[in-house]
Amino acid sequence: MNKLELLKELKQRNVPTREYSLKGSYKEDAVCLLEEEGKFEVVYFERGQKNILSTHKSESSACEAFFKEMLS
């Protein structure tokens, strides 16, 4: 799964866009997918604090983890 496929799946499941960001930037009170220093991070950004949920070597692995996080 890549970012475009992930976005499609999230939209199909009516996940509110305010709850996530796939743009590679932080969004307050949202799960974000970031690429930093050649790795992908799934993070939750809250009250100015970055909380790393998982770290991945590939976009595909990160997108799968992001999807599972959004459905949990």
Q: Specify the pTM.
A: 0.90
Domain tally for the chain?
A: 1
Q: For residue 44, what pLDDT is reported?
A: 96
Per-residue pLDDT of the chain (72 residues; tens, 9 = 90+): 999 999 999 999 999 999 999 988 889 999 999 998 889 999 999 888 999 999 999 999 999 999 999 998
Spatial CB neighbours of 62, under 8 Å, sequence gap ≥ 6 = 33, 40, 41, 42, 54, 56
Enclosing domain of residue 8: 3-71
Q: Tokens standing for 33?
A: 């997918």
d(CA 72, CA 58): 22
Q: For residue 20, what pLDDT is reported?
A: 96
Q: For residue 25, what pLDDT is reported?
A: 82
Angle at 67 between CA 72 and CA 9, to 5 degrees: 115
Q: By three-state DSSP, how is residue 39 classified?
A: strand
Q: For residue 22, what pLDDT is reported?
A: 94
Comparing C-alpha atoms, which of 8, 24, 19, 13 is closest to residue 62?
Answer: 24
